[in-house]
Structures are given as C-alpha cells and as structure tokens.
Structure 1
Amino acid sequence: MKKFIVFLISAMMMVSLVACAPTEPKVETTAPGPGAIASTGGASDKVPDPNAEPMEIISVYSQNDDATGLNQAMDAVSELTADAMADKLIEYGVLEEGTKVLKFDKKDDGTATLDLSQIPEKGTADDILTLTAVGNTFIENFELDKLKVLVNGKDYSNSQIKQGDGDYLEYVKNYKKIK
C-alpha cells in the first residue's frame, strides 16, 4: 500500500510540474494588411537618423482664441537664438511678418534686453497679451529672470502701455487668464 501511495503522489507531482511548465507564446501567421509598415523588430528601427539636424525644444506663447490669455505650445528650432524665437512668434501670429531682432543682449545676472524692429499695436488690451507672449517666450527659453523690451532702441510704449528705463517683463505664471 505504501508503494501505491508513493507512486500516486509521484504521478500527481509530475502532472502538476507539467501543468506549470512555461509554454511558447502563440504567434499569428497572418500577412500584414495593405499599408502596413514592415518592421524588422531590431535595434535599427529605433536608431535616429544620423543625418537629421539636432533640434532644440522650445515653448512659444500666443494669444488664445477668446483673447483672455495665452496658449503655450511646444515647438522646435534648429538653434536657440533670438532670431529663431522671433520667427516662431511670427509663425504663431504674435509678431508681424518682417519683425527683426535688432539686438539681444543676455547678461549673467539673469536679465536680458531685446530690441525689436516693431511690435504690432492693436490699440486694445491685446497689446498686453502680445507683450506678455513675447516676454514669456524669451524668459522661459533663455532661462531669464527679467526681460527689457525695446522697439528700435527705445523703451516700448504705445497708447495702452508706457514702459520706462527701469521697467522689465517677468514671467507671468497665470498666463491662461490675464484679462
């Protein structure tokens, strides 16, 4: 009887070990549909193009649809320069076509001066949004504390905004709802 019990226990252990053994995953053998991109599944599929130009990721601020604040968009430029930032602001409709950076001077104390050829004057509270969009874009991307904005070498001013020599823009955290 003892031999029978030992044999029965051994048989049950063998069955349980076979049931717990790992199995090969099932692989579908259907052909890819039209328009499917074939992948080798190798490392070469994940290697970036060595000829691709390296890009800098930037934030660009622009007026939102209801003109009550700003939207933030992530974009890329080939090189982080003031001219590239101005071009992106033109692309997003913040600055007018033809606006040029006359001078951009970044100092070690976290301040910078930006001299533009023009800033559009809309004669409304939208001018505050435009100035804030320019300020936030430059301050965030160039990691500044303050930004002085000039137009053709003079303090920025229009019918709504009058900036003096000591006036600097600072990053506006609540940019989504300004007015």
Structure 2
Amino acid sequence: MKKIILFLMSAMLMVSLAACTPTQPKMETTPPDPQVMASTGGASDKVPDPNAEPMEIISVYSMNDDKTGLNQAMDAVDKLTAEALVSKLIEYGVLEEGTTVLKYESADGVGTLDLSAVPKSDDKLIITSIGNTFVENFELSKLKLLVNGKNYSNSSIKLGDNDYLEYEKDYKEIK
C-alpha cells in the first residue's frame, strides 16, 4: 500500500511541477491578416481616407525662439502655390497677417515673388525664411524678392536688380 501511495504522490508532484513550468509561446508561421487584427488605437492603425483630397508636404522656415537662426517645420497644404506658402509663413509668424502675393512666377529654376508687405524687423531672418521656404518647395536655384513691385530694401538690406535669395544651408544660425 505504501508503494501505491508513494507512486500516486510522485505522479501528482510531477503533474504539479509540469503545470508550473513556463512554456515558450507558440510562434505564428504566417503573418496575420491586417484586416483581422484587433485595433490598438495607435498611429499604425490609421488608414487613409480614400475620399480625402491629397495633401502636399512642404517645408516652412521660421525664426527660432532666440532669433539667432531658423527652424524648419514640415507641414501640409492642399495644393503647392505661392499663396499657400505665404499663408503658412503668416501662420508661423514670419509674415504679418494680411500679407498677399501680388505676383509669383518661375522659369528655369529662378522664381520671382512680389509680396504686398514684408516686416522690417529681423530682416535677415525674415528674408532667409521666405527664401528657404520658396526655394526648397518650388525647387528653385534662386528667388527674386519684390515688395509692391520693387526690389526688397530696408535700412540694413538693399537688394538690387541682380540680387537673389538662395537656399541658406546653415539656416540654424544666421549672422
């Protein structure tokens, strides 16, 4: 009888130890169907609306907080136009509310932008913000900046007929 009890106790001990032993999770051999997977609510679950209008991704340059250089931000517009870029420059505080595009044209990689106004303060930062934003987004080699049909000028910067804005690579620190 002792042998039977010892045998049963040994069997119960082995079963209880086997139940407590960690096991490796089973690995799936085929990827799950994305439509069958449960939603986790993360960005990876976002499916573009097939009825939404496509957006253009743009770069917008604006002054950094200590006004020693520029920040670059990625944003989106419905359609890449000079008016859309000026609207974003207003939104980012580069241009003043009410600034309009009087004329914009480009040919052979050279753009001409005529604005209704350009702020007079922080002039180097402002014109570099405008220049980088337009040159990069319209893939220009240079940009002519006009204000009300005349070359941009103020007390410290006077652009002549042969002066153009080019992309400033060292935009994070402008002297």
Quote the residue 2:83 is aligned against: 83
Separation in 1 of the partners of 2:72 and 2:156?
Answer: 24
CA offset digits 1:24-68 (Å, max 9, x no partner): 359xxxxxxxxxxx529xxxx664211212100000000001110
Separation in 2 of the partners of 1:102 and 1:81?
Answer: 13
Q: Does 1:160 align with 2:156?
A: yes
Matches within 5 A, 1:1-179: 24-25=26-27, 39=39, 47-107=47-107, 109-122=108-121, 126-179=122-175
Unpaired segments ≥5 residues, structure 1 = 1-21, 27-37
Separation in 2 of the partners of 1:127 and 1:134?
Answer: 11
Separation in 2 of the partners of 1:23 and 1:94?
Answer: 56
SS of structure 2 residue aligned to 1:140: helix
Give the 3 Å change call, closer, same or farther, for CA 106–46 of structure 1 in structure 2: same
Alignment-mate amino acid for residue 79 of structure 2: E
Identity of aligned residues (%): 72
The count of corresponding residues between Structure 1 and Structure 2 is: 140
Q: How big is the alpha-carbon RMSD for the aligned residues of Structure 1 and Structure 2?
A: 2.1
Q: 4+ runs of 1 displaced by more than 6 Å?
A: none
Separation in 2 of the partners of 1:63 and 1:47?
Answer: 34
Separation in 1 of the partners of 2:67 and 2:168?
Answer: 16
Unpaired segments ≥5 residues, structure 2 = 1-23, 29-37
Separation in 2 of the partners of 1:99 and 1:72?
Answer: 21
Give the 3 Å change call, closer, same or farther, for CA 23–157 of structure 1 in structure 2: closer
